[in-house]
Structure formats: C-alpha cells, structure tokens
Chain A
Amino acid sequence: MYRHFFSKKYKRYLSLTLFGFLWVFQFTSCVDDVDFEQVHLIELNPVYEVDFVYARFDTDVFHQSSSVFVPELIVNDTLDYDLLGIDFATKHLVRVELTFEFENTIQRDFEFHFGFLNVEGERIGPTYHMIADKGNGGGTSPVKTTRQIVMNNVTIDEVETATKLVSSLRLKNVSGTLKGIFELRSKGSYFINYQL
C-alpha cells in the first residue's frame, strides 16, 4: 500500500491537487459585501478659517491739533486677493463667510466698505458696506459690533476674475476733541466641496 502511495504518479496527482487547491484558494478568494462604486460618492467638505484684515485706529496717534476739523476722513487700501479666481476656488469653493468684529470707543460711527477689482482695475461683483457703531468716548468700554458677509457660489462666480480687494474706512466730523480707539478684527471661513 505504501509503495502505491509513493509511486510517482500518485505523488504527482496528490501534489498537484493540493497545490491546485491552495492556488485556487488564494486567487479566487471572495470579495463580498463591499461596493467600490461608492468611491464616486466620496466628497471632502473641509472648512478653513483664516485671518482676514485687521485695523487699529487710536486718536492719540492721529491727532495733530485739537483745532483740526475734518468733515469726512476716508482711508482707502488695496490688497492682492486672487483667491476667487483660481481653478480650485472656481470648482470647489462653495461658500465664504467673512466675519468682522468692530470694537469702538470713539464717539463716531465708522463706515467700512470693501469690494473687488479685476485685473484692469474695474469693479466687479457686489460692494459690501457695514457700519461700526459709535463708542462712548475714550476710557469707556468699547461698543462691539459684529457683521457677517456670506458669499454663496453665485457671488463667488461673479467675482471669479477678481485680483484685488479694495477697502475703505470712513469717519465723519473728525475733530481734535475726539478720543478713543477703533479696532477691526476679521476672519474668513472658506467652505470647500471636493468630490473625487
């Protein structure tokens, strides 16, 4: 019987059968209960919060003389800001929330404007306007004003070609008697939708 077991023919058949079994076992192993088509449903929705602009206006620094009177003080500024025109933003930026926090002890309202310019320097998209409430005078607790601007994907599309951001601060009836500090702090929340 053992001689039969060790015959070349038997060895070959037995070995091949066992190897065949293991080979098939390895290479036909099952992949069950999974759906790789779900990969098309994967989407990333990160939200990035990044500082935006800030300003500090102290009357002690600004005043030259108590007799000075300026009916309207306007300070303009321009920043490079081509975020909304880059491919990634065009395709995947779905919402931008700009939050502005004003703290004011100066007894005047501050008007803050900003908008967008294209590469030719022309205004595009909406212009935003907000007012920081007046304060109660130097040395008092600051009056806080919070404003939020929401740019949805329609607005983002409108300012797609923006390359610059223009801003201005307006203050009326500036006199040498005004005392206090005006502060602006702001951030942008950028909502991304990235589908694989």
Chain B
Amino acid sequence: MNFSLFLCNILPRRKEKGKSPAFRNFVKLSSKEVIGKKVTSTALILILCYSVMYSQNKEMLYDFTDIPQSLLLNPGADTNFNYHIGIPLLSHVNLNIGIKGASLFDVFSEDEDNINDKIAHTLNKLTNNDYLTITQQLEVFNFGWKANKRNDIYFSGGIYQEFDAIGYFPKDFAVLAYQGNQDYVNEIFRFSKLRGNAELMMVYHFGLTKKVNKKLILGLRAKLYSSMFHVRSNKNKGFFTTLEVSDANNIYQHIISNADITIKTSGYASLKEIYENEEDDGDKIDESINSLVGKSLLGGNLGFGIDLGGTFKVNNRTNITASLNDLGLVFYNKDIETYQIRGNYVFEGFDTPIQFSGQAPQNFLDELEEATSIDENSDPYIVMRPLKLNSSIRYSFNRYKNDNCDCFIKGKQLPFMDSFGAQVFMQFRPKRPQFAGSLFYLKRFFPFLRTKLTYTIDEYSYYNVGFVISADINKINFYISANNLLDYNNIVKARNISMQLGFNVIM
C-alpha cells in the first residue's frame, strides 16, 4: 500500500466509484510497483544520500596523453602512439557517483541524535537544485593505429557501454511525503521540480587525429548511439496546493492547477511485457537480457553524434586544448511508451446531505480522472545527448636529459618530466549546465611511470583532490585514477566518488 492510494482513499466518495481501468491501473501500479515498501526504503535512502556528483567529468584523464582513453575525451589530443589495443572489457572502467547537498554521514552519523531528526534537518537543507548522478562506462574494446603512409594521422575506434542518470531532488514532494501537508497549507508544490533522465546505451565510435602542422592537432570522432533503455521527465508544469479559504464551501481547497506532467520512455514497454508474460523469474531475466543485448547491437533506438577537439602548441612548452563531446541526437522511434497527465482539479470535500443542494451526487474518483486524464502514446521523440566541453592550458618544463637510457623513441624529442596547468569542464544537463574547474600537476617520475594530481573546484566542493597513475610494463599499460582522495579516510563523508582504471597494449 502507498501514499498515493492512501490519498485517493482518504477522500470520501459518493456511492458510485470511479471505474476507469486506466486510473485503477495507475493506482494499482503506484501501490504495488512504484512505492512498495522496499522501493520506498531505497528511494528514501537515495533521497537522504543526495550529494554532489561531477557527472561525466574525468578531470584526471583529460589531456593525460600517455593513455589512449585521452582520445575519447579529446580526439585532438597530442598522443604519440604507433598503435594501441585495449584489453577487451578491461581497457576502461569508469564509475562516477555523486550527490549534491548532503552526504551519507549527514544522516547515518553515529551520535546521540535521532536519525529522524537528522533526516528532517537534511531534508530542510536540500533544495530542488540538488541532484544525484550516476555515470558508469565499460569499454568493450578500443583500438587505434597510425596511418602507414601518413604518420600525421592516427585512427582510433571502439565500443563502449554507458549508463548515465541524473535525478533532481524533488524537495516539494519529498516534504509532502515525509511531513504531510498540515504544516504546508497555502504552500505550492510544483510539478516542475520533478525532473530526471536515465539512459543505458552502447556507443560505437571511430575517429581520427591529425597533426595539421607543428603547432596544431585536430581530431574528429563519429559516434553511433544504440539506446537500450531511456526514461526522461522534464519541463513539467503546474502545481498542487492546499489553500485555506474563508469564503468557500469548506475549510480548504485542494487544487491541482495546470498539471502537465510527461514521462517519456523507450525500451521500457518491451521489458514490462516480458515481466507480465513470463512466469518464471529465470526466464524473465534471460528474456530481458536478450532484449537489451539485441538493442545494444544496433537493434535499439539509434542516434548520431560527434566529438571535436584540438591541441594548439603556443610554443614548445605551452599547450592549449579544447574539446566538445557528444554533440548529437538520439532518435527514439521504437518501443516507446509516453505517459502524459494533464488537467485541473479542485476538491472541497463533499456536499452533504445532497438533498440540500439539489445537485447530482459527487464522485471524486470520476471527477479526478476526468479532470486529470492519463494519456499514453508511442509518438517518436528526439533527445540531445548531454553535451560536454573541456578545455585546458598546460605549461611543461624539466625536459628529460638522461643520455644513458634509450627509453624513448629515437629521433623524437625527449618529453618533459613536469607540467602544470588548469582545465575547465562543462556539461549540459536537463535543468542547467554543470561546471568544474581544476588545477593539475603532471609528473613523469620515470619514463615508464606517469602521474597526475588534480585539485578540482565546482559549485559543491572546494577540496576535491584526484590522482592518476599510469605505468608501462613492457607493452602493457595500466592506469588507475580516483578523486576525492581526502575523503577516503571516511568515504561516507564524500559527496562524490569517481574512479577509472584500465589496461591497454601500447606501442
């Protein structure tokens, strides 16, 4: 049972009940699937855990040109490989989770305070602008090679799977669920605060990096997106309120005004059908996996996009880079199920005895259903990919001078051992762009061992220190990076956790 069903039943009704299957199904769905106890618990914990996440910012790997994955962040990166092959399924693993506004510690700290007081305090602290984001990437494989005839061109390509989700904290409705409306009479609960987006997709990409001249490197990467699952709710309108009125029929007026809520899904309908038709749990899982795999192999909703980037060498010590990732669209025209709820409704209680008014009996559920109808459609829609921008400036010094070592390619200029600089990141999200700025120091301890230390600031955190280390053992390259290192002594205080690791064969 759940709050929505409770609220529907809290209101007395005339003898005739609303019989609409759609509305009943909605209530049933709400009660059994959406806000079941476990889901409620999980959702509440997630709400409590809202803190900052840096979306898809990979400040440690950007312009870290010793690993091939830097080409995914900037196709115009100044790399120096003859060829590379990623170890399948291990060449790039990325996980980035963050919450803006609070941390687990705020709620679960071991102290004398009651957890419910801490939840109330955290709820009060969070705003509608806080959010939770989760980004996960797994590279299936990755490869690249230098063109034989024209050494100034490097081709690279691969496939990776990506899950990306962002959910803004719906403070208005969290308050309504957690505290009720008694203390919030005359307050407005806006449907526009319900925003979120989640997508699971496979990305096929191929690009080239061209050294235009001694100063300029440009890159272009084409991407083909194969979406497996997508859900999005954005640009909702309207509000719900409980108004205390002196000149109306009753004490309050419960108002749903100009409600316009849309939830677009693709890939959900087929999964729902599997779960409705299959009885065996094993079959449900197998069928679901088969469905998702089929969609990942270009059988889903397709989209196209590009990455652009470049490196400009101001002089032999200073580089400026910039890149633009995922400038593209996904066209959703298969397996779509869109829900729209629109309408207005005012409830003032029930006129009784009805003989006094001489009007027909009131039927709350029928009236509500008619006033705020739930429509389903399968209309195609198009969504832009979350565009990401990166840029950096880097100054290098301390060129390698050891003549006794043949560790670097003969004929090539020896590399610098130290660099420092700054970089910025921006990503477009449903509500507004997210920004981050970083200072970094690159240190090459030995020819086979490189590190990068970053210090990142964004609107949520001023002490995010990240570190990446990359080493070559024979031709095998291994890298691992993590941010928010200062919070690792007690990770529950962290509002963002990001890590990447991978293995490549590099020549």
Candidates B9, B37, B348; contact of A82 at CB < 8 Å: B9
Q: Are B356 and A52 in contact (CB under 8 A)?
A: no
Q: Are A34 and B104 in contact (CB under 8 A)?
A: yes
Q: Are B471 and A18 in contact (CB under 8 A)?
A: yes
Q: Are B491 and A30 in contact (CB under 8 A)?
A: yes
Q: Is A22's CB within 8 Å of the partner chain B?
A: yes
- B residues near A33, Cβ cutoff 8 Å: 105, 109-110, 490
Q: Are A88 and B105 in contact (CB under 8 A)?
A: no
Chain B 244-271 against A: per-residue CB contact (8 Å), 1 yes, 0 no?
Answer: 0000011111100000000000000000
Q: Is B492's CB within 8 Å of the partner chain A?
A: yes
Chain A 50-91 against B: per-residue CB contact (8 Å), 1 yes, 0 no?
Answer: 111111110001000000000000011111111100111101
Q: Are B250 and A54 in contact (CB under 8 A)?
A: yes
Candidates A3, A19, A34, A169; contact of B110 at CB < 8 Å: A34
- Identify the closest chain A residue to B105 (Cβ): A34
- B residues near A3, Cβ cutoff 8 Å: 404-405
Question: Complex formed: what's the CA distance from A72 to B357 in Å?
Answer: 20
Q: Are B250 and A186 in contact (CB under 8 A)?
A: yes
Candidates A38, A42, A48, A167; contact of B44 at CB < 8 Å: A42
Q: Are A54 and B2 in contact (CB under 8 A)?
A: no
Chain B 167-187 against A: per-residue CB contact (8 Å), 1 yes, 0 no?
Answer: 000000000111111110100
Q: Is A119's CB within 8 Å of the partner chain B?
A: no
- B residues near A8, Cβ cutoff 8 Å: 473-474
Q: Are A49 and B15 in contact (CB under 8 A)?
A: no
- Identify the closest chain B residue to A183 (Cβ): B249
- Known contacts A34-B108, A42-B116; is-contact A22 B12 (Cβ 8 Å): no
- B residues near A47, Cβ cutoff 8 Å: 179-183
- B residues near A18, Cβ cutoff 8 Å: 449, 469, 471
Q: Is A189's CB within 8 Å of the partner chain B?
A: yes
Question: Complex formed: what's the CA distance from A33 to B109 in Å?
Answer: 6
Chain B 434-453 against A: per-residue CB contact (8 Å), 1 yes, 0 no?
Answer: 00000000000011110000
- A residues near B180, Cβ cutoff 8 Å: 46-49, 190, 192
Question: Complex formed: what's the CA distance from A189 to B249 in Å?
Answer: 18
Question: Complex formed: what's the CA distance from A43 to B448 in Å?
Answer: 55
Chain A 9-45 against B: per-residue CB contact (8 Å), 1 yes, 0 no?
Answer: 0011011001100110110011111111011011111
- A residues near B119, Cβ cutoff 8 Å: 42
Q: Are A53 and B352 in contact (CB under 8 A)?
A: yes
Q: Are A25 and B352 in contact (CB under 8 A)?
A: no
Candidates A11, A38, A61, A167; contact of B446 at CB < 8 Å: A11
Q: How far is the CB of B28 from chain A (nearest CB, A)?
A: 13
Q: Is B499's CB within 8 Å of the partner chain A?
A: yes
Q: Is A185's CB within 8 Å of the partner chain B?
A: yes
- Known contacts A22-B482, A34-B104, A185-B249; is-contact A14 B349 (Cβ 8 Å): no
Q: Are B108 and A38 in contact (CB under 8 A)?
A: yes
Question: Complex formed: what's the CA distance from A15 to B44 in Å?
Answer: 43
Q: Which of A33, A34, A78, A87 has the most CB of B within 10 A?
A: A34
Q: Are B352 and A55 in contact (CB under 8 A)?
A: yes
- Known contacts A2-B402, A26-B499; is-contact A52 B349 (Cβ 8 Å): yes
Q: Is B407's CB within 8 Å of the partner chain A?
A: yes
Using C-beta atoms within 8 Å of the partner chain, give the interface range for chain B.
35 or more
- Identify the closest chain B residue to A12 (Cβ): B473
Q: Is B13's CB within 8 Å of the partner chain A?
A: yes
Q: Are A80 and B12 in contact (CB under 8 A)?
A: yes
- Known contacts A2-B405, A53-B12, A167-B353; is-contact A31 B254 (Cβ 8 Å): no
Q: Is A180's CB within 8 Å of the partner chain B?
A: no
Question: Complex formed: what's the CA distance from A48 to B404 in Å?
Answer: 80
B105-149 with Cβ < 8 A to chain A = 105, 108-110, 114-116, 119
Q: Is A109's CB within 8 Å of the partner chain B?
A: no
Chain B 333-358 against A: per-residue CB contact (8 Å), 1 yes, 0 no?
Answer: 00000000000000111111111110
Q: Are B1 and A88 in contact (CB under 8 A)?
A: yes
Q: Are A56 and B10 in contact (CB under 8 A)?
A: no
- Known contacts A8-B474, A15-B448, A51-B251; is-contact A35 B110 (Cβ 8 Å): yes
Question: Complex formed: what's the CA distance from A87 to B9 in Å?
Answer: 11
- Known contacts A12-B473, A42-B119; is-contact A53 B350 (Cβ 8 Å): yes
Chain A 182-196 against B: per-residue CB contact (8 Å), 1 yes, 0 no?
Answer: 000111111010101
Question: Complex formed: what's the CA distance from A41 to B250 in Å?
Answer: 38
- B residues near A91, Cβ cutoff 8 Å: 1
Q: Are A101 and B488 in contact (CB under 8 A)?
A: no
Candidates A11, A45, A78, A87; contact of B15 at CB < 8 Å: A78
A33-B105, A188-B10 are known contacts; what are 16 more A-B pairs with Cβ within 8 Å? A8-B474, A12-B473, A30-B488, A34-B105, A42-B119, A43-B116, A49-B185, A55-B352, A56-B356, A56-B357, A79-B14, A83-B10, A86-B1, A99-B251, A101-B251, A167-B353
Interface residues of A (CB under 8 A from B): 2-3, 5-6, 8, 11-12, 14-15, 18-19, 22-23, 25-26, 29-36, 38-39, 41-57, 61, 75-83, 86-89, 91-92, 99, 101, 164-165, 167-169, 185-190, 192, 194, 196
Q: What are 8 pairs between A and B in contact, CB < 8 Å? A: A18-B471, A34-B104, A41-B115, A48-B180, A79-B15, A89-B9, A164-B15, A190-B180
Q: Which 9 A-B pairs have the closest CB atoms?
A: A51-B349, A46-B180, A88-B1, A77-B353, A15-B471, A47-B182, A29-B488, A87-B1, A75-B353
